[in-house]
Chain A
Amino acid sequence: MNENDLIKELREGNRAAFEELFDRFSTLVYNVAYRMLQNKQDAEDITQEVFFQAYKSLKHFRAESQLSTWLYRIAVNRSLNHQRKRKLQRWLSLDFEAREDSAVNSGYPGTTEDGLDDAMGKKDTERIVQEAINSLPDQQRSAILLHRYEELSYEEIAKIMGVTVASVESRLHRAKQTLAKKLLPLMKEL
């Protein structure tokens, strides 16, 4: 089913079309959420929220963008909101030493404890890069994740984040400069 037909069916409330939507895009949404939150359970919760919101809003979907763009936008916003809520809850519960699950311990591919020295070395570099990305401000982090891991164009990222292409370029530029400064000293540890 092409996207226009899928949208038409979704607007009519066709359940099979909704299942098709889920099959096509659940992996995409899950991976974006996981990249942003670094926690499998949170990523699944966000994925569920994204598709639930999509279900409630489908009748009003205006098809001004692609379905993937629309779902990316919901996923990024929900992930950022979830992260802010989690920080606030941790602060309010006086739980200042709470640690988040890291990519190393959450079963993300390439981060398991198994494997040869090469895999262990790869795990360390992934962890370092991911930690460096996690330390970026929200908007820069979102832009880097969408550009690097989802391989989206500047135009697509601009539509997802609701900003201009120039703004996306600026965020990515600053993000890469910051990442270079953070990563270089850490490379010496490997």
Chain B
Amino acid sequence: MIHTHIQEKLLLYLDGNLPDEEMQQIREHLSACAVCAEQHDALASVWRSERRLEKVKPSPVLWTRLQALIQEYEQTPVFVWDVKNIFQGISLRPIPALAVIVAIVVGIYLGSPRESQKYKPAQSVSQLASAADELELDQFDIIPPGTLGSTLVNISNRQK
């Protein structure tokens, strides 16, 4: 535990970002602990050497591109520029994912039954009778007695 506590502070130690007392404690620990001392040396070689990278100049054409952009900006009315910028920010890359999402939503909508298509059982005898009338059951089919169909026909006949 002591080692972990020391090791996570090694970069702060290397940069001198700790209070004096803590710096002293770590210094003493490093002189006594070979493992932490080795890790200190490894970090020091990396942390200090990486800073020696040079600054890189941008491409020489960047100035030319910038001038062209400024010229276009100066020749375009402000509101046209603002509108153009709004649409320029929209990339075409999200379209495949959006298309999938839209397809799923449309599929769910088309797959779910319409209100008119949903089956609802008849709530009353008159509804049954009108259904029998609609289907003209007594005209075409011989309905075995004692069945639901014969009951429907009887109800319908009584209604008439």
Interface residue ranges, A against B (CB under 8 Å) = 19, 22, 26-28, 30-31, 34, 43-44, 47-48, 51-52, 55-56, 89, 91-95, 108-110, 122, 125-126, 128-129, 148-149, 172-173, 176-177, 179-181, 183-184, 187, 190
B160 on the A face (CB < 8 A): no
Tell whether A94 pairs with B97 under 8 Å between CB atoms, given A48-B62, A55-B70.
Answer: yes
Which residues from chain A contact B63 at a C-beta distance below 8 Å?
19, 22, 26
Q: Is the CB of A93 within 8 A of B8?
A: no
Q: Is the CB of A48 within 8 A of B66?
A: yes
11 contacts between A and B (CB under 8 A): A27-B57, A27-B58, A47-B62, A89-B94, A109-B53, A128-B46, A129-B47, A177-B8, A180-B43, A184-B7, A187-B42
Which residues from chain B contact A190 at a C-beta distance below 8 Å?
42
Q: Is the CB of B66 within 8 A of A52?
A: yes
Closest 8 CB pairs of A and B: A92-B94, A176-B11, A93-B93, A30-B58, A187-B42, A180-B11, A92-B97, A125-B46
Bound Cα distance from A128 to B42, whole angstroms: 13
B50 on the A face (CB < 8 A): yes
Tell whether A27 pairs with B66 under 8 Å between CB atoms, given A89-B94, A93-B96, A177-B9.
Answer: no
Q: Is the CB of A109 within 8 A of B54?
A: yes
Which residues from chain A contact B59 at a C-beta distance below 8 Å?
44
By beta carbon, the residue of chain B nearest A18 is: B70
Say how far B2's CB is from chain A's closest CB, in angstroms. 15
Q: Is the CB of B98 within 8 A of A173?
A: no
Which residues from chain A contact B8 at a C-beta distance below 8 Å?
177, 180-181
Bound Cα distance from A22 to B129, whole angstroms: 89
Known pairs A30-B56, A56-B73, A177-B9 / 11 extra A-B pairs, C-beta < 8 Å: A22-B63, A26-B62, A26-B63, A92-B98, A126-B53, A173-B12, A177-B11, A177-B12, A180-B7, A187-B46, A190-B42
Which residues from chain B contact A19 at a C-beta distance below 8 Å?
63
Which residues from chain A contact B152 at a C-beta distance below 8 Å?
none
Which residues from chain A contact B50 at a C-beta distance below 8 Å?
125-126, 129
Q: Is the CB of A34 within 8 A of B56?
A: yes
Bound Cα distance from A131 to B93, whole angstroms: 26
Bound Cα distance from A81 to B148, whole angstroms: 71
Say how far B121's CB is from chain A's closest CB, in angstroms. 45
